[in-house]
Amino acid sequence: MVSLLALEKLTVRRGECPVVDRISLSVAAGEFVGLIGPNGAGKTTLMRAALGLLPALGHSSLAALPVATRAHAAAWLPQTREVAWPVSVETLVALGRTPHLPATGQMRAADHAAVEAALKRMALEGLRFRSAAQLSGGEQARVLIARALAQQAPLLLADEPIAGLDPAHQITTMEVFAGLAAEGHAAIVSLHDLGLAARHCTRLILLGQGRLVADGPPGDVLTGANLAEVFGVRAFYARTEDGPVFQPLEVVR
Amino acid sequence: MLNFRLLLVLLSVLVAALFGASLLIGPAGLGVGTSLRALLAGQGEAAVLVMREIRLPRALLGVMLGASLGLSGAAMQGYLRNPLAEPGLIGVSSSAALGAVIALQTGLAAMVALALPLMALAGAVLSVLLLLMLAGARGASLTLILAGIAVSAFAGALTSLALNLSPNPYAAAEIVFWMLGSLSDRSFTHVWLALPFMALGWVLLAPLGRGLDALTLGEDAAAALGIRLTRLRLSLVLGTASCVGAGVAVAGAVGFVGLVVPHLLRPAVGGRPGRLLPASALGGAAMLLAADIATRLIAPERDLKLGVVTALVGAPLFLHLIYKTRKEGMW
């Protein structure tokens, strides 16, 4: 298995307090990793530090790369959905090709193909000429995911990409990420919907107060003890004929 | 959205036409034939003087200044992702103006030929150093805006102080009139003084298109797309400062071009900040040439100031744009 990301004792401090505390892990091709944890657990900080967007102690294989090379190794979808100008959906998705373009900025056949593939994958062909600034929040989220897909990097890091989507688009988006992993890419996606995480991810990483609490297949991570300790909830979790079903039930503290 | 190349060609034709008009219109009242013969073949002593020493540098400065303001305005709006940003925002123009005002107030401008533009350039350079010190080499765009406002306010206060302390009403009037901005009575000395700085600015700003395009997605996403934001920001600040500092040095404060032109042309380039750079440079040159021609046509005897005309045209245009975009619910 090709390792696409390796972290060794990655630590981010805000003042004296560690927000991400000595996290070591590696992600290989074919994995769809769900990054879970309560608010403030350090999910966003971990991903940004892994990408080298934040100064951090320890080692990250991505942060060690030169900026231009890193853009070929990993795509990043931030949580804030920013579309500053009223550019068309197609133009916005094409921004994902930025690292691949020559100095002239001219799009080539491979770039057009990547943009088409990304639009198709997110079912956005019908919106391509619309102004991205005029879309609904959910549509904008899907366009920005398509932008990250068009980058065609082996590793995709996405910060709460499915927040605010309707159930059908949440499921199809999770399937897109799973599809990427099945094709030999990898995705690290932070999520709050543990039910979708349990069903679609091949691996979950549970963060609590900046530390790595559990790392493994969904069934091993979403244990009663872990949920009570980190999230403070009790949940129903079962493997059914329709796949794993997870439902938080009540707060236990 | 127009075809991008067609748009650039149309704007170039417009600039060329206005450049020609700027050469042919003036108080000397030369005929078209006389003007062209004087300019190109050097026929007719007085006409040659008017064409080559007065009108040609004025038209050239119009193109240079307009392109500089349009380009730096588009770059500034693209970087800050804000259609209200303008090149003066980082405080360079008010600092350059302060340098010029000091030259006028102390009488240095009257004693040494190029004291005024050189002092203005010195003011611009000092403000950039101060700005970079305040905002740091790294950091978000917000710190740049705040540092710019601080520098701007301080330079403005010192300019007021200079006015306040001016020895007599004539000196104060001279300062006020200079600050209104004008291209009249400029010579090739001014062209050669401004050109290297403006050219440096163009060279720094022109390649930023790709980074500005990526910034449409925000700073984090742009950084992850391989854009070196620290370098982009340094190029932006130095490029804008060169353009605007040199502009103020030779023409005084000419507002609204850097604000209105990018706004006006944005729909024509499909909102893409990278494509807006060349379009806005050409558009800025066209607007400034047109405004400078207007100063000569509307009130030839009254020495109407260029900055007054650009503001008079620019402000209502801007109001109209705001009204229109509000109705359409987009920028």
Encode B172-193 in three state secondary structure: HHHHHHHHCCCCCCCCHHHHHH
* B52 touches A: beta carbon within 8 Å: no
Residue A70 to chain B, least CA–CA distance (Å): 7
Q: What is the pLDDT of residue B143?
A: 85
φ, ψ for residue B308, nearest 5 deg: -70, -45
Specify the amino acid at residue B118.
Answer: L
Q: Which structure tokens are listed for A38?
A: 């309560």
Mutate to test the interface with B, among A85, A130, A144, A157 (most CBs of B within 10 A): A85
Q: Which of A75, A86, A98 sits opposite B271 (nearest CB)?
A: A86
Output the pLDDT for position A1.
Answer: 64
The 8-class DSSP code of residue A241 comes to T
Do A95 and B217 count as a contact with CB atoms less than 8 A apart?
yes
**Burial degree of B138 (CB within 10 A; 0-12, 13-18, 19+):** exposed
| pLDDT digits 0-9 by tens, A180-232 | 999 999 999 999 999 999 999 999 999 999 999 999 999 999 999 999 999 99
Residue A86: name the closest of B329, B124, B252, B224 by CA.
B329
pLDDT at B329: 56
CB distance A164 to A137 below 8 Å: yes
Any CB–CB contact under 8 A between B266 and chain A? Answer: yes
Q: Where are the domains of chain B?
A: 4-328
The Cα-based distances of B297 to A4, A186, B291 in angstroms read 67, 67, 10
| pLDDT per position as a tens digit, A62-104 | 999 999 899 999 999 999 888 989 999 999 999 999 999 887 7
At B14, the pLDDT band (50, 70, 90 cuts) reads: very high
Phi then psi dihedrals of residue B109, to 5 deg: -60, -35
Instruction: Name the average pLDDT for chain A.
Output: 92
pLDDT above 90 covers a percentage of chain A that reads 82
Select from A48, A91, A147 the Cβ nearest to the Cβ of B270. Answer: A91
Taking residues B219-248, report their average pLDDT: 91
The mean pLDDT of A51-57, rounded to a whole number, is 92
Q: State yes or no: pLDDT of B2 exceeds 60.
A: no
Task: Determine, for residues A91 and B226 on separate chains, whether the beta-carbon distance falls below 8 Å.
Answer: no
Q: Looking at residue A229, what is its pLDDT?
A: 93
Q: Right CATH number for B4-328 from 3.90.650.10, 1.10.3470.10, 3.40.50.2300, 3.40.50.880?
A: 1.10.3470.10
Cα dihedral A81/A108/B280/B142 (nearest 10): 30
Average pLDDT over residues B79-95: 87
Chain A residues with beta carbon closer than 8 angstroms to that of B221: 76-78, 82
Instruction: State the average pLDDT over residues B290-297.
Output: 92
Domain that holds residue A219: 3-251
The span from the CA of B268 to the CA of B275, in Å, is: 10
pLDDT at B28 over 60: yes
Contact residues on chain A for B266, CB-CB shorter than 8 A: 85-86
Q: How confident is the model at residue B317 (pLDDT cuts 50, 70, 90)?
A: confident
Mean pLDDT value of segment B46-73: 91
Closest alpha carbon within chain B to A95: B214
In chain A, what is the straight-line distance between the N-terminal and C-terminal CA atoms, in Å?
41
Over residues A1-10, the pLDDT tens digits come to 678 999 999 9
pLDDT mean across residues, chain B: 88
Asked whether the beta carbons of residue A87 and residue B272 sit closer than 8 angstroms, the reply is: yes
Are the C-beta atoms of A110 and A56 separated by less than 8 Å? no
Listed in sequence order, the residues at least 6 apart from A241 whose beta carbon sits closer than 8 Å to its beta carbon are none
Mark yes or no for CB contact B228/A67 under 8 Å: yes
pLDDT at B285: 97
Mean pLDDT of B209-237: 92
Q: Which of B213, B218, B330 is facing A86, going by the closest CB pair?
A: B330
User: For B192-203, b where at least 16 C-beta lie within 10 A, e where not — what string?
Assistant: ebbbebbebbbe
At A162, the pLDDT band (50, 70, 90 cuts) reads: very high
pLDDT of residue A190: 96
Q: Do B224 and A68 touch (CB under 8 A)?
A: no
Give me the residue from A68, A133, A147 closest to B217, CB to CB: A147
C-beta atoms of A87 and B81 within 8 A: no
For residue A238, what are the β-bridge partners? A245
Option in B220, B226, B274 nearest A53 (CB): B220
User: In whole angstroms, how far apart are CA B97 and each of B155, B248, B260, B270?
Assistant: 8, 6, 21, 35
| pLDDT value at residue B139 | 63
Q: Quote the DSSP letter at residue A203.
A: E
**Is the pLDDT assigned to residue A36 strictly greater than 50?**
yes
Separation in Å, CA of A188 to nearest CA in chain B: 15
Instruction: Determine whether the interchain pair A144/B217 forms a contact, defined as Cβ–Cβ distance below 8 Å.
Output: yes
User: Of A46-50, A184-188, B2-6, B322-326, where does mean pLDDT reach its minimum?
Assistant: B322-326
Domain count within chain A:
1
In Å, how far is A243's CA from the nearest CA of chain B? 35
Nearest CA in chain B to A96: B225
How many Å apart are CA A102 and CA A88, to the nearest integer? Answer: 22
Distance from CA of A36 to the nearest CA of B (A): 21
Q: What is the pLDDT of residue B105?
A: 85
Q: Which of B76, B220, B327 to mutate to test the interface with A (most CBs of A within 10 A)?
A: B220
Is the predicted pLDDT of residue A21 greater than 50, yes or no?
Answer: yes
Q: What is the CATH number of the domain that holds A102?
A: 3.40.50.300
Residue partners of A247: CB distance under 8 A and separation at least 6: A195, A235, A236, A237
CA distances from A109 to A71, A88, A210, B78, B270 (A): 20, 19, 44, 28, 22
- Residue B232 pLDDT more than 50? yes
Q: Give the pLDDT confidence score for residue B132 in this predicted structure.
A: 82
- A60 to A2, A52, A55, A148, B258: CA distances (angstroms): 16, 8, 11, 21, 43
* Rg of chain A (C-alpha set): 18
pLDDT reported for residue B331: 45
Q: Is B139 on the interface with A (CB under 8 A)?
A: no
With an 8 Å Cβ cutoff, are A87 and B331 in contact? Answer: no
Could you tell me how far CA B110 lies from the centroid of its own chain?
25
